[in-house]
Amino acid sequence: MPELREGRTIRAVVFDLDNTLTDFMKAKRGAIRAAADAMIDAGLVMDPQLVYDRIFAIYDEVGIEHQRVFNRFLTEATGRVDDHVLAPAVVAYRRAREASLVPYPHVQRVVYRLVKDGYKLAVVSDAPRFEAWLRLCYLGLQHVFDVVLTHDDTGARKPDPVPFRMALERLGVAPGQAVMVGDWPERDIVGGLVAGLHTVYARYGDTYGSPDRPRTTDSGAHFVIDDLLQLLDVLERLERPAGEA
């Protein structure tokens, strides 16, 4: 592995996964619409938009990672789970997700540049372990990171500092030697700050927006970026003498 320049302050970069490395919500919305259409084609008598809305209402209640959302939806909507309707929905969902789950612009360029420059890299995600690894494989980034920590690995969810501290320990760096990059201020940024990392708010990924969680105007992060390529400038600024940073 390449060696960092002697005396460099920052030695590691920790990334959130969803909506930081990939537009997860765009992929999720497209996949659910495809699944709704498949259910209608299979014989479900319901307006596709209503199917979409009711599935997302379940996600809002039990979490976006719920793995049996179609089963619950069909049970509530029809009183039973008909495999003739469920199977096409699952296939359509997976195909649409695979097609749309791609890296944000410049993600691969930046990540491989960091590897070349000798930074240690980690992912800290609240996703289930297998789902996180699936996404990394879709993105072609499964071999890039030194550490990948999910909720299954840490038993805690951001902004709890435990996942961040575990990442630092496994990377072998101190908090002040690491940068946290994430799109969710209340989770990624708050958790990174509590754990003592430098924080970078990936504003380009904060598109979730809802009445309960509108897009923030003040992330509280040390730095704000609108393209991951700007992370390289942030790292350069962090290496300048204190009076110049």
pLDDT tens digits along 144-163: 999 999 999 999 999 999 99
Grade residue 206 by pLDDT with cuts at 50, 70 and 90: confident
SS3 state of residue 202:
strand
Q: 4 and 173 in contact (C-beta within 8 Å)?
A: no
Extract the tokens encoding 77.
């909507």
* C-alpha to C-alpha distance for 195 and 189, rounded to whole angstroms: 10
Q: What pLDDT is attached to residue 3?
A: 44
31-58 pLDDT, tens digit each = 999 999 999 999 999 999 999 999 999 9
- Distance between CA atoms of residues 62 and 11, nearest Å: 37
Q: Quote the percentage of the chain above a pLDDT of 90.
A: 83
Give all domains of the chain, ordered by start, each with its CATH number.
12-23+102-238 (3.40.50.1000), 26-100 (1.10.150.520)
Q: Residue type at 221?
A: A
DSSP for 112-155, written as a single string? HHHHHTT-EEEEE-SS-HHHHHHHHHHHT-TTT-SEEE-HHHHS
